[in-house]
Amino acid sequence: MQSKAIDQWTRELPVIAKRGVITDRNGLTLVSNADCYSVFVRARSVSNAEVVAKTLSKVLGVDYDSLYKKISAVSSSEITVKRRVEKAEIEKLSEYSLDGVYFAPDNTRYYPYGDMLSKVLGYVSSDGSGQTGIEKSYEEYLKGYNGEILYEADLIGKDLQGASAKYLPATNGLNVKLTIDYEIQRICDSVISKAYQKYTPKSASVLVLDPSNGQILALSEYPCYDLNDIPRDDIALLNKLSRCSLIVDSYEPGSTFKVLTAAANIEEYLKGNKNAFSLDYVFNSNRYRVVDGRKIKCWSTHAGGKHSNENLALALNNSCNPCFVDIALSLGKQKMYEYIKAFGYGNVTGVDFGGEAIGMLLPESTVKNGDVARIAFGQSIAVTPIQLACATASAINGGVYYEPYFVSEIYDEYGNLAQKILPKMVRRVVSEQTSKILAEYLEGVVSSGSGKQAYIEGYSVGGKTGTAQKFENGVLSQGKYVMSFVGFFPSKNPKYLALAIVDEPVGGQYGSTVAAPLVKEIFQGIINCKNL
């Protein structure tokens, strides 16, 4: 009863809560709030509607006729005149001392680095609520709760003479600290921007994470857009530019997937599985295999006996498809699918980001030998880039799969910690011994194999190349490729893993020549800025 009476005899104006800021792992502000205000009119407290409407129209640039009509309407109570008003305009408006006119702090998001992390940070709607990215995923924490200014009013809503106002303060939103490292992000943006200009691809992107805990250190995609100049009038363009393809899109990975097939063979061999090949086993040096009546060829012509006397380490070095076909068929469909699922394919990674895709994994019951053979070297399967990065990380970090994540801490405006997000170990996928052997093999790929354009003198870098022909309308598209490279360092105790992807580059031939140099440049930048 009392609350009803209060509602009948008071009128409210909102006190807008400040939205929480977003920082990088070191506290550098990536998203903040601009200093601006909202202007309101309480129509029943206005003594001269014409003067108020003219003054507001002059100072704020709003339409006079429309505003005058609203103020003059008998049914009008609180009218929002304009949001996101600059402080200078408020100071000018204050000089007029207009009765019935009020203003309150408002939220306008400001992104100090423009297009940096545009697909990760996301943007807010005109009313300040998160629409995409971290802004949306952590809306519950960032938004805060508005307060009110309560004015005593008479029955028709007019302020009572001599009455005092009651102030109910807003609860500001909580701040969010990301795992992103600004310095590494800056390096990635520079490298990927140059690659986009050089190869004019459909897109160029890179994901960097810490394989020892799943923290995402950088994510860069081009083309992108300036978060301070969002193309809201072109929804199709905005949706395209704000789409974080490394998380929400899938692609056929090609030879980067061979890391899984190699890991499965090593693990099963160490377990004593007779269907696995020994580490010294020499594979048949023929350039092709026939599976279900169809030839599966190696990308190389094997000229000059290039792939002769090839064990697993050399098969990785040369990225020889037939060797991985042999492994998959020998282990069998059931065993291969056990590892595919253990490494996270066919399911989401659980990253704290909306819209994550699951990729495309054929139902095991429908898979034939030809499918298993192609899956072994990254065909007949579609994965998300973040799936591939996490799977590779678990293969070389000691054998543990970690859930990837962007946010490490949530805290209030006074620095009080509300929540700390710790690394989440999901499962063990292979033994430490398997992981160690595989990391050594992949270091060989960079030092002397197909990934040598990622080699850095004096540093132990491992990695795997990938060049996948694209499918369009169910058939291979001639001349259209996705080129990639996944690399990590130091190879014996990896702290950085980077997956670079260039979609349909013009003038590039292989992942080894297009994507591997990008990872090398990123790692060199990290080495320099971290004084490693």
Nearest CA-CA partner of 432 in 215, 267, 209, 259: 267
Strands 22-23 and 175-178: parallel
Catalytic pick among 255, 435, 450, 491: 255
pLDDT for the residue 471: 66
Query: Does residue 263 sit within a domain?
Result: yes
Is residue 155 pLDDT above 60, yes or no?
A: no
Q: How confident is the model at residue 3 (pLDDT cuts 50, 70, 90)?
A: very low
Average of per-residue pLDDT values in the chain: 89
Is residue 70 pLDDT above 90, yes or no?
A: no
pLDDT for the residue 99: 84
Query: Does residue 95 sit within a domain?
Result: no
Query: Does residue 89 sit within a domain?
Result: no
Give the CATH number of the domain where residue 365 resides.
Answer: 3.40.710.10
Cβ-contact 372, 335 below 8 angstroms? no
Give per-residue pLDDT as tens, 320-331. 999 999 999 999
Is residue 38 pLDDT above 50, yes or no?
A: yes
d(CA 500, CA 193): 12
Query: Does residue 106 sit within a domain?
Result: no
- Is 75 one of the catalytic residues? no
Is residue 216 pLDDT above 60, yes or no?
A: yes
pLDDT for the residue 6: 36
- Residues 427-440 have a mean pLDDT of 98
Query: Does residue 132 sit within a domain?
Result: no
Number of domains in the chain: 1
- Residues 471-494 have a mean pLDDT of 83
pLDDT for the residue 167: 75
Which structural domain, as residue segments, surrounds residue 304? 182-529
Give per-residue pLDDT as tens, 159-207. 555 556 677 888 999 999 999 999 999 999 999 999 999 999 999 999 9
pLDDT for the residue 475: 62
Query: Does residue 96 sit within a domain?
Result: no
pLDDT for the residue 338: 97
pLDDT for the residue 7: 40
Percent residues over pLDDT 90 in the chain = 66
Give SS3 for 13. strand
Q: Does 302 or 377 have the greater pLDDT score?
A: 377
Query: Does residue 385 sit within a domain?
Result: yes
pLDDT for the residue 46: 83
Give per-residue pLDDT as tens, 83-117. 778 888 888 888 888 888 887 777 788 999 999 99
pLDDT for the residue 53: 87
Nearest CA-CA partner of 448 in 325, 323, 324, 319: 319
Per-residue H/E/C for 18-31: CCCCEECCCCCEEE
Query: Does residue 114 sit within a domain?
Result: no
Q: Does 50 or 246 have the greater pLDDT score?
A: 246
Structure tokens given for 81: 């005149």
pLDDT for the residue 411: 97
- Residues 431-437 have a mean pLDDT of 98
